[in-house]
Chains A and B, each alone.
Chain A
């Protein structure tokens, strides 16, 4: 039985060591190289886009929204898991969250950053994006408050700001630790600036914990509102397949569903690579998988109610949309969605599957694919055949659509690779407390 001081020392040393002591390693360098290459692809795609206009994408009449919106919704959704874990589970006193919340919050930030790119790029005239923001204007012009897109601007920017602040505040004591443990002076200075002169004063801790708790309380309704607002982009429209009251809850569930899928996609390799199996344990995988199963079932309920309403409402347009999704020109999208989002996750009923990293990894990948397909189904497949048969059309993503999408994946992973080597991916201070309490038991 070692003293608290010794325990704290070992924890601090080990976790800060992940950044300060551990050599970079070939896997990390290689991974970063690949991710960065994809990031460069994004630069090319965006450059070409700004030169020529959104016409380089496949969008047309009637399908005026394509990949940009699909990717936007997909990325935002992924972000939700981070906030869910760090805020909602904190309020629910789920202590297992401690070891993964820093990492998932980072994931949230990077996902939202990727998402944020698309609403800007998809504008016909991106250089006047600021028209969507209220600012003093000599022509007395304002945004049009009734438009869900303006709601988006506020929701997404708020979400990003709050997530960033929440994440940073969580980092401050750990940055102090890094500051004090770093050897080279310049590293001390860099971390020192981030640490804001934190010295662990008990009074500071008291206010800090209170503020952290309040932020969690604020982030919880926020995260629920963000994807509801995103769903309004569709629910507010008159388009059959969009015009539906089920969207907000069904989008939020879908968001957390896809978010946890991404969490597993990332954590499983990371815990293996950095030997953190004792910190990110089987229990974590098991619980994350359970959340995935639960939210997945909610999503299934969403699909079911959509098709039920289409039949029950006896509204010919709605019926048509449902049938067109299943058997229309885009039938593979619907079947992919159902297979990946409903069928496959049922395997998670078995604990043996939930704690099997390899299987779990594959399932999480498939869920990511399925959720992308779902958004494609909602955006494109609803648009391509609306009210007047004369204006029916088709949509196909061009090479530029794909480059932009893959490019953002590159951006996401570049940020992630840098994060795991520059900041403590596991909250040190919280882990100290955690370990001490566990040993006390």
Chain B
């Protein structure tokens, strides 16, 4: 079969350590279009893949501030501007009473922002992905550790890349059909 029909080549490891090492090597070798698949979060792999920061916290911060301002603004506008009412002789702008809702909305916006932001950055939800075509991936992805070099990578060359991966002493190297 020919190289263009490939999604990439994938190396399967039994231990997280070798995977991490292999990833570092691949990145050093100049590969950029690569990804690792692990049954749980292995520290360092993402960095080794060249990921500087996750981008999630800033979203949380922005959403939180938005929520807080929206919450207080809504209460102030409603109570003092839009429909002022004398409630129990209290001032229209009784700020201490506005604190709880402001706080709750801050949390709500921040939380939803965090989750939605995280999913979007991850490109999830997603219907399918070529990596699932890897032989035995479905049964082994919860136990084994994978490094995938994608064919989109400029340095990708079917034989060269396969040799490179084999040097990392994986359990297997598979072709991932596109």
A binds B: yes
Interface: A204 (CB within 8 A): yes
| Least distance between B42 CB and chain A CB atoms (Å) | 7
Q: Please determine whether A211 and B118 come into contact, CB atoms closer than 8 angstroms.
A: yes
Which residues in window 116-151 of A have CB below 8 A to B? 134, 140-146, 150-151
Q: Please determine whether B107 and A202 come into contact, CB atoms closer than 8 angstroms.
A: no
Given the known inter-chain contacts A4-B14, A202-B45, A215-B115, please indicate yes or no for A207 contacting B121, CB distance below 8 A: yes
**In the complex, chain B residues whose CB is within 8 Å of the CB of A225:** 100, 103-104, 107
Q: Please determine whether B37 and A218 come into contact, CB atoms closer than 8 angstroms.
A: no
Given the known inter-chain contacts A4-B16, A161-B112, please indicate yes or no for A9 contacting B142, CB distance below 8 A: yes
| Least distance between A219 CB and chain B CB atoms (Å) | 8
**In the complex, chain A residues whose CB is within 8 Å of the CB of B142:** 8-9, 12, 177, 180-181, 200, 428, 432
**In the complex, chain B residues whose CB is within 8 Å of the CB of A436:** 16, 40
Of B98, B108, B114, B119, which is within 8 A of A196 by CB? B119
Minimal Cβ-Cβ distance residue in B for A188: B138
Q: Please determine whether B46 and A161 come into contact, CB atoms closer than 8 angstroms.
A: no
Interface: A155 (CB within 8 A): yes
Which residues in window 192-215 of A have CB below 8 A to B? 196-211, 214-215
User: In the bound complex, how far is the Cα of B112 from the Cα of A203, in angstroms?
Assistant: 20
Q: Please determine whether B111 and A12 come into contact, CB atoms closer than 8 angstroms.
A: no
Interface: A5 (CB within 8 A): yes
**In the complex, chain B residues whose CB is within 8 Å of the CB of A169:** 115, 118
Of A5, A145, A199, A211, which is within 8 A of B37 by CB? A199
Q: Please determine whether A208 and B41 come into contact, CB atoms closer than 8 angstroms.
A: yes
Beyond contacts A203-B122, A215-B111, A229-B100: 7 other A-B pairs, Cβ-Cβ < 8 A, are A12-B143, A142-B83, A173-B40, A199-B37, A206-B51, A210-B54, A225-B107
Q: Please determine whether B49 and A197 come into contact, CB atoms closer than 8 angstroms.
A: no
Q: Please determine whether B114 and A215 come into contact, CB atoms closer than 8 angstroms.
A: yes
**In the complex, chain A residues whose CB is within 8 Å of the CB of B15:** 3-5
Give how many B residues have a beta carbon under 8 Å from the other chain's beta carbons.
66
Q: Please determine whether B115 and A222 come into contact, CB atoms closer than 8 angstroms.
A: no
Interface: B164 (CB within 8 A): no
Of B42, B88, B114, which is within 8 A of A205 by CB? B42
Of A155, A200, A219, which is within 8 A of B39 by CB? A200
Chain A interface, >50% SS class: helix
Most B CB within 10 A of own CB, among A169, A204, A211: A211
| Least distance between B34 CB and chain A CB atoms (Å) | 10
Of A9, A143, A208, A219, which is within 8 A of B143 by CB? A9
User: In the bound complex, how far is the Cα of B88 from the Cα of A215, in angstroms?
Assistant: 38
Q: Please determine whether A197 and B127 come into contact, CB atoms closer than 8 angstroms.
A: yes
Given the known inter-chain contacts A161-B112, A210-B56, please indicate yes or no for A202 contacting B39, CB distance below 8 A: no
Interface: A221 (CB within 8 A): yes
**In the complex, chain B residues whose CB is within 8 Å of the CB of A151:** 100-101, 104
